[in-house]
């Protein structure tokens, strides 16, 4: 009955007997109120008879019953346009486009409703103006502060120049709409541009960036991948467009932790043009993260060019040459950091009764820096100092984040401020000493400290190398960490803390000591542990570890499983060296208290060089796990050695790779010596002498007061 009735009504409509067809559809609706096809068809006929209100009632029901049917939303948009509901009409047209962009008549209707929805009357007569003149007219309207008039010009021109310049008009319309925060409509315009010109590189790029900003990363990646495929199929496509799409594809894949995909995209971009310093340094660091060695393989460039392009962070693990690290930082700062007059001259004294110390960071949350420093913030002597935070951290909702917040006297959120406003706030608060916990790491804002908003500015913990940031006056250090010969290649002057440079949190909870079997470790083996991030592992270091395994019976190497590509590559390197891959064990990331307890299942921590363990070394020692380190010439390569020196375990420091290897083998053969080192750590911790935050705090405050007195 239903099929026959609907078919009969459709046949009447197709034969031009519209009035009879409408009666048939309405009769069918009376029998079957939820027949969406009849509702849609009847609404269309009523609209054609200018019975708009009745058509609206039926199409509303059809759209509600079958919301995935694009023609219903298009019909609803047309009806609402006639009723004067332009904003709602645009919403319906957008919905139809998002369901099925190929819906008949949709594009033409969008050309009508888009400018009208923004009150953009085209009061400029473009007549027969050539496309170039149309672009000039629209650009002039934008420059004059009337972008919606420019939008109307483009929409009128689209109808006229449908097959030639229409893609450019659509693209420019999308840019205008995006600036007006009309993101859905902007997306439509970019997609319309691409319908007309599939190999339009700028539109593919803009669409992907828009989708990324709307928290649709997978769609953004798909947009750029589609663009690359279309550009590859078009012999006239410019190379610059492919490079731009590849670079953004690589950037977003890296953010999504798809390191292999990111590296592949950047590699293809560099093959097209290897003179891209910023791209090259990302590519190098991606290979470091995956343990793909040698890092420079696969490009027609040498080590010198790699080193000139490496980011400051990547350079920490690439070179033990202090001068190369300084040059990498300087190149970055020269390119990224502004040159400003210092807002507050060095050594200015405000004359406060209590020293005002400000800590600058986006890591005042569940992050390695705060896990180390939270007790320092709490321990500062309030009779001597007032402690401020200047923070752009994300709220992670953890109790630890709340503990960090409560550790400060004043907590300034600067996420909504630009760099100048943040610097002005620091100056207005009359901060005596600004401690930069960030340096040149991810999410850094070096243009705050580069304005010099405090009389004394100090680098601490965040970036373990020379930052080259203007007006960062000092770096926290100790005598082992920062020998005199390092001064000539460091932008900051050392502030020596007698107790040692690093603090810790004595309140950190430990989970129960896990059984080795639960961790995938053999019960009776000697476990060498190396939990540094995989990007710190160099081919020379890993080859040394494999030699240690060869020389140490019944031993395994326990590594952090940072990502699947590094794991597979490390296993491959082991096989190539003749080591049974089963002697490599991998540990995933777990809850902090269980992470600390896990160290207790190992026998000896093997450190990396030239990028030593920092927070991880602190964690290992706190868990009574001895560390064997190799100290070099740079600040970052001496961090673990500085901690061992403070703990009186200097014999666990090597200064060349051969000695490091030999010490590891000797320690494996002498488990009592390893146990004695572990017991010393336990005793120091029990006496509060391992990481004595109270003493550090007193000495740190003394040093700061001394600076300002001078």
pLDDT at 118: 58
Task: Give per-residue pLDDT as tens, 478-498.
Answer: 999 999 999 999 999 999 999
Other Cβ atoms closer than 10 A to 633: 18
Q: Does domain 516-690 have CATH number 3.40.50.2000?
A: yes
Which H or E run contains 605? strand 604-606
Considering only CA atoms, which of 523, 408, 482, 530 is closest in space to residue 634? 482
Q: What is the pLDDT of residues 70-116, one digit of tens each?
A: 999 999 999 998 998 887 888 898 889 889 878 888 877 876 777 66
In angstroms, the CA 413 to CA 462 distance is 19
pLDDT, position 2: 45
Please give the pLDDT value at position 119: 53
**The tokens 């460039």 sit on which residue?**
301
Rounded to an integer, the average pLDDT of 422-435 is: 98
How confident is the model at residue 356, as a pLDDT? Answer: 98
CA distance 88 to 92: 6
How much is the average pLDDT of 610-614? 96
Question: Is residue 134 predicted with pLDDT exceeding 80?
Answer: yes
3-state secondary structure 67-123: CCCHHHHHHHHHHHHHCCCHHHHHHHHHHHHHHCCCCCCHHHHHHHHHHHHCCCCCC
Paired with 386 in beta bridges are 356
Per-residue pLDDT, averaged over 228-257, amounts to 95
pLDDT-based confidence at residue 298 (cuts at 50, 70, 90): confident
305 pLDDT band, cuts 50/70/90, is confident
Q: What is the pLDDT of residue 1?
A: 35
pLDDT tens column, 663-694: 999 999 999 999 999 999 999 999 988 999 99
Query: Would you state the pLDDT for residue 147?
Result: 85
On the question of pLDDT at 48 being above 70, the answer is yes
d(CA 692, CA 110): 69
pLDDT digits (tens, 9 = 90+) for 544-570: 999 999 999 999 999 999 999 999 999
Cα of first residue to Cα of last residue in the chain, in angstroms, is 98
For the stretch 265-274, pLDDT in tens is: 999 999 999 8
User: What's the pLDDT band for 454 if we cut at 50, 70, 90?
Assistant: very high
In whole angstroms, give the CA distance from residue 527 to residue 520: 12
Q: Collapsing DSSP states into helix, strand and coil, what is residue 496?
A: strand
**CATH 3.40.50.2000 domain extents, the chain:** 516-690
State residue 268's pLDDT score. Answer: 96
The residues near 617 (Cβ < 8 Å, ≥ 6 apart) are 605, 607, 627, 629, 639, 640, 643
Phi-psi region of 461 (alpha: psi -120 to 50; beta: other; left: phi over 0): left
Residues 168-200: tens digit of each pLDDT: 998 999 999 999 898 988 998 899 899 889 999
Q: Report the pLDDT value the prediction gives residue 242, as an integer from 0 to 100.
A: 97
Residues 562, 608 contacting (CB under 8 angstroms): no
User: Does residue 120 surpass a pLDDT of 70?
Assistant: no
Question: Can you tell me the mean pLDDT for 456-467?
Answer: 96
Reported as a single tens digit per residue, the pLDDT across 373-382 is 999 999 999 9
Residue ranges of the chain that CATH labels 3.40.50.11380: 355-496
Contacts of range 212-216, beta carbons closer than 8 Å, 24 or more positions apart: 212/252, 213/183, 214/183, 214/187
pLDDT of residue 5: 83
536: DSSP letter: G
Cα 608 to Cα 605: distance, rounded to the nearest angstrom: 10
Question: Tokens 């009035």 correspond to what residue?
Answer: 19
Reduced to 3 states (helix: H, G, I; strand: E, B; else coil), residue 371 is: helix
Rounded distance between C-alpha atoms, residue 658 and residue 636, angstroms = 20
Mean pLDDT of the chain: 92
Question: For the structural domain made of 355-496, what CATH number should be given?
Answer: 3.40.50.11380
């Amino acid at each position: 009955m239903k099929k026959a009735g609907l078919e009969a009504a459709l046949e009447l409509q197709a034969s031009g007997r519209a009035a009879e067809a409408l009666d048939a559809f309405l009769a069918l609706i009376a029998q079957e109120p939820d027949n969406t096809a009849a509702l849609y068809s009847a609404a269309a006929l009523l609209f054609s008879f200018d019975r708009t209100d009745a058509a609206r009632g039926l199409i509303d029901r059809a759209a509600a019953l079958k919301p995935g049917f694009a023609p219903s939303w298009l019909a609803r948009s047309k009806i609402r346009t006639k009723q004067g509901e332009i904003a709602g009409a645009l919403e319906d047209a957008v919905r139809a486009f998002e369901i099925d962009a190929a819906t008949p008549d949709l594009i033409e209707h969008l050309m009508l409703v888009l400018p009208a929805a923004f009150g953009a009357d085209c009061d400029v007569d473009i007549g027969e103006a050539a496309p170039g003149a149309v672009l000039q007219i629209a650009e002039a309207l934008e420059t004059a502060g009337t972008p919606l008039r420019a939008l109307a010009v483009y929409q009128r021109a689209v109808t006229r120049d449908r097959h030639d310049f229409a893609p450019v008009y659509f693209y420019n319309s999308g840019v205008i709409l995006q600036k007006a925060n009309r993101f859905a409509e902007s997306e439509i315009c970019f997609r319309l541009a691409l319908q007309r010109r599939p190999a339009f590189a700028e539109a593919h790029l803009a669409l992907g960036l828009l989708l990324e900003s709307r928290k649709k990363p997978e769609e953004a990646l798909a947009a750029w991948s589609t663009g690359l495929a279309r550009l590859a199929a078009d012999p006239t496509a410019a190379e610059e467009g492919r490079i731009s799409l590849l670079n953004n594809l690589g950037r977003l894949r890296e953010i999504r932790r798809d390191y292999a995909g990111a590296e592949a995209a950047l590699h293809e971009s560099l093959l097209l043009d290897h003179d891209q310093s910023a791209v090259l340094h990302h590519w190098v660091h991606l290979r470091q993260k995956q343990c793909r060695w040698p890092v420079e393989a696969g490009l027609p460039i040498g080590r010198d060019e790699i080193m000139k392009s490496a980011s400051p962070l990547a350079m920490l693990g690439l070179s033990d040459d202090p001068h190369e690290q300084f040059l990498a930082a300087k190149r970055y700062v020269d390119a990224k950091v502004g040159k400003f007059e210092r807002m507050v001259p060095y050594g200015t004294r405000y004359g406060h009764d209590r020293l005002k110390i400000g800590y600058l960071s986006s890591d005042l949350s569940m992050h390695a820096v705060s896990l180390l420093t939270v007790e320092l913030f709490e321990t500062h002597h309030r009779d001597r100092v007032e402690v401020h935070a200047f923070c752009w951290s994300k709220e992670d909702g953890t109790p630890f984040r709340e503990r960090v917040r409560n550790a400060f006297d004043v907590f300034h959120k600067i996420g909504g401020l630009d760099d100048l406003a943040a610097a002005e706030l620091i100056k207005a608060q009359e901060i005596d000493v600004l401690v930069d916990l960030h340096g040149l790491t991810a999410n850094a804002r070096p243009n705050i400290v580069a304005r010099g908003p405090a009389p004394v500015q100090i680098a601490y913990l965040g970036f373990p190398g020379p930052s080259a940031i203007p007006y960062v006056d000092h770096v926290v250090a100790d005598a082992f960490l920062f020998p005199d010969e390092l001064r000539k290649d460091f932008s900051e002057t050392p502030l020596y803390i007698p107790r040692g440079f690093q603090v810790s949190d004595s309140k950190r909870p430990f989970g129960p000591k896990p059984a080795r079997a639960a961790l995938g470790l053999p019960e009776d083996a000697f476990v060498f542990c190396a939990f540094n991030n995989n990007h710190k592992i160099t081919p020379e270091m890993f080859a040394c570890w494999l030699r240690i395994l060869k020389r140490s019976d019944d031993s395994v190497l326990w590594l952090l499983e940072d990502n699947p590509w590094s794991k597979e590559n490390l296993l491959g390197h082991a096989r190539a060296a003749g080591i049974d891959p089963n002697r490599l064990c991998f540990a995933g990331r777990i809850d902090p208290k269980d992470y600390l307890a896990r160290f207790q299942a190992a026998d000896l921590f093997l450190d990396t060089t030239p990028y030593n363990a920092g927070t991880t070394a602190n964690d290992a020692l706190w868990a009574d796990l001895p560390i064997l380190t190799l100290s070099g010439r740079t600040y970052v390569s001496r961090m673990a050695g500085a901690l061992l020196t403070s703990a009186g375990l200097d014999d666990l420091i090597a200064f060349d790779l051969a000695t490091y290897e030999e010490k590891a083998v000797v320690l494996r053969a002498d488990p009592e010596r390893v146990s004695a080192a572990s017991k010393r750590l336990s005793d120091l911790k029990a006496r509060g002498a391992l990481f004595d935050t109270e003493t550090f705090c007193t000495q740190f405050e003394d040093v700061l007061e001394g600076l300002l007195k001078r």
